[in-house]
C-alpha cells in the first residue's frame, strides 16, 4: 500500500515587508475586460496560458450542461484570442466518461522566464480532473494525466496512463480529500527540493462540510504519484469555503502560489501565498489581486493564471456576471 510521504522543509515564515514587495510586483489593478467567451449554452473556465515559438496559447475548459471538456485558443498579443477546438474531450466510458477538465503541466515557472512548456519522455503533459457522472462537478472526481507531441494543435491528447493517478478513495487519501479532487498544477523542479522532480498541487474537498483545501503529491515519472504530507498546504477551513486552482511560479528565492479563495471571505477572489520550501506557505493578507467590481465579474472574479511579458503582468481569470461565465483579463498597466 502506498504511504503518505512525511512533510519536510524549513518552515520559515516570510516577513510582511517581503510579502508586500511580492504584491507590488504581481498586482494587476487594471481590468482589461473579457477576452474569451463560449456559446450562449456554455460556461468557460480555468485559463492556462503558455508560449510556443512566437505565439501564445491558452487551454481552458468548457461546460455544456452535461460535463467538462478542455479546449485550445491562440493569440499573437495576449489580448485577442481565437478558439481552435477541443484537445481533451469526454471519453464516453470509464472513469472519465463525462468530465475532462485539464491544466498545464511542466510550464517554465520562472517569473521572468519564457512561459514555454517543458517535455518529459519526449512529450508535453496535462493533468486533468475526470469523472464518470454527468452534471456540474458531480463527485467523485479524480486526477488523470494526458500527453501530446503537438500542444498547439486542436487534436486529442492521449490519456497516459488510461486510469486516474489520484482518487479520493485510495487508501492513502487524507481526510480532507475524500469527497473529490479538483484542479491540479504540476511543477517540474530540477533541484528536487522534496526529493522528486515532479510536484503536483491540487485542491480537494472533504466529505461532509463543503470545504476545499490545497495539498500536494510527488512523482518520479508523472505516471505514479505519492501524496506528500498529512496536512494541506493552503487551508482556510473549517467553515465552508474554497481554496483552489493553484499556479506556482518562482520569483527570486521565493515560490509564489497564486490561487483563488471563496466564501471564507466575502465573494470569490484571487490572492497568493509564498514559500521557501514548497511545503510551508505564508498567506498574503493584503488587498486581493482580483475581486468583483464590474458587471461582467460581479458574481465571481477568480481562478488565476498570471504571466509576465515585456514588463506587463497579465492576469487571466474566470469572470461570472452579466455575460455568463467567461474568461477575463486584468493587467499591471492600463492598456485601454
Mean pLDDT of 183-208: 96
State how many domains the chain has. Answer: 1
Mean pLDDT of 119-130: 98
Cα separation, 31 vs 24, whole angstroms: 16
Is 109's pLDDT higher than 70?
yes
Q: How confident is the model at residue 314 (pLDDT cuts 50, 70, 90)?
A: very high
pTM flag (> 0.85): yes
Task: Kindly state the DSSP code that residue 322 receives in the 8-state scheme.
Answer: T
Q: What is the pLDDT of residues 211-260, one digit of tens each?
A: 999 999 999 999 999 999 999 999 999 999 999 999 999 999 999 999 99
Is 11's pLDDT higher than 90?
no
- CATH classification at residue 184: 2.115.10.20
261 in any annotated domain: yes
Helix (H, G, I), strand (E, B) or coil at 170: coil
Cβ-Cβ contacts under 8 Å for 110 (sequence gap 6 or more): 249, 250
Q: How confident is the model at residue 1 (pLDDT cuts 50, 70, 90)?
A: low
7 in any annotated domain: no
Residue 306 C-alpha cell reads as 498570471
Percent of the chain with pLDDT over 90: 95
31 in any annotated domain: yes
46 in any annotated domain: yes
86 in any annotated domain: yes
Q: How many other C-beta atoms can be found within 10 angstroms of the C-beta atom of residue 155?
A: 15
Instruction: Report angle CA 171, 159, 173 to the nearest 5 degrees.
Output: 15
Cα separation, 254 vs 274, whole angstroms: 6
Helix/strand number for the chain, H first, E second: 1, 20
Residue 231 C-alpha cell reads as 496536512
Nearest to 175 by CA among 237, 88, 247: 237
Give yes or no for a contact between 116 and 107, defined as CB atoms under 8 angstroms apart: yes
Cβ-Cβ contacts under 8 Å for 29 (sequence gap 6 or more): 330, 332
189 in any annotated domain: yes
8 in any annotated domain: no
Show the domain range for 179: 16-331
175 in any annotated domain: yes
Give how far Cα 166 sits from Cα of 184, 195, 200, 269, 328, Å: 11, 19, 11, 27, 31
Give yes or no for a contact between 320 and 295, defined as CB atoms under 8 angstroms apart: no
39 CB-contact burial (10 Å; exposed 0-12 / middle 13-18 / buried 19+): exposed
Mean pLDDT of 43-51: 98
Residue 227 C-alpha cell reads as 501524496
Residue 145 C-alpha cell reads as 494525466
Q: How many other C-beta atoms can be found within 10 angstroms of the C-beta atom of residue 52?
A: 16
Give yes or no for a contact between 229 and 4, defined as CB atoms under 8 angstroms apart: yes
Amino acid at each position: 500500500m502506498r504511504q503518505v510521504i512525511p512533510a519536510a522543509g524549513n518552515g520559515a515564515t516570510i516577513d510582511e515587508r517581503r510579502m508586500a514587495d511580492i504584491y507590488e510586483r504581481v498586482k494587476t489593478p487594471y481590468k482589461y475586460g473579457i477576452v474569451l467567451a463560449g456559446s450562449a449554452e456554455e460556461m468557460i473556465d480555468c485559463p492556462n496560458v503558455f508560449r510556443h515559438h512566437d505565439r501564445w496559447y491558452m487551454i481552458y475548459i468548457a461546460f455544456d450542461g452535461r460535463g467538462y471538456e478542455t479546449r485550445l485558443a491562440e493569440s499573437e498579443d495576449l489580448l485577442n484570442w481565437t478558439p481552435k477546438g477541443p484537445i481533451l474531450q469526454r471519453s464516453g466510458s470509464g472513469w472519465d466518461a463525462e468530465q475532462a477538465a485539464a491544466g498545464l503541466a511542466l510550464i517554465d515557472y520562472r517569473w521572468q522566464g519564457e512561459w514555454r512548456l517543458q517535455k518529459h519522455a519526449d512529450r508535453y503533459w496535462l493533468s486533468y480532473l475526470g469523472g464518470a457522472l454527468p452534471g456540474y462537478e458531480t463527485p467523485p472526481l479524480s486526477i488523470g494525466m494526458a500527453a501530446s507531441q503537438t500542444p498547439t494543435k486542436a487534436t486529442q491528447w492521449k490519456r497516459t496512463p488510461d486510469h486516474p493517478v489520484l482518487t479520493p478513495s485510495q487508501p492513502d487519501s487524507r481526510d480532507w480529500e475524500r469527497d473529490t479532487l479538483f484542479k491540479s498544477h504540476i511543477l517540474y523542479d530540477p533541484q528536487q527540493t522534496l526529493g522528486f522532480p515532479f510536484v503536483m498541487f491540487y485542491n480537494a474537498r472533504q466529505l461532509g462540510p463543503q470545504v476545499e483545501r490545497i495539498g500536494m503529491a510527488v512523482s518520479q515519472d508523472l505516471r505514479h504519484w505519492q501524496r506528500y504530507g498529512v496536512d494541506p498546504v493552503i487551508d482556510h477551513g473549517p467553515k465552508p469555503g474554497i481554496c483552489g486552482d493553484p499556479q506556482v511560479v518562482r520569483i527570486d528565492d521565493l515560490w509564489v502560489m497564486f490561487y483563488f479563495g471563496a466564501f471564507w471571505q466575502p465573494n470569490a477572489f484571487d490572492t497568493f501565498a509564498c514559500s521557501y520550501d514548497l511545503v510551508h506557505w505564508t498567506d498574503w493578507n493584503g488587498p486581493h489581486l482580483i475581486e468583483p467590481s464590474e458587471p461582467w465579474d460581479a458574481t465571481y472574479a477568480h481562478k488565476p493564471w498570471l504571466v509576465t511579458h515585456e514588463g506587463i503582468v497579465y492576469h487571466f481569470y474566470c469572470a461570472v456576471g452579466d455575460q455568463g461565465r467567461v474568461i477575463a483579463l486584468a493587467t499591471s498597466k492600463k492598456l485601454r
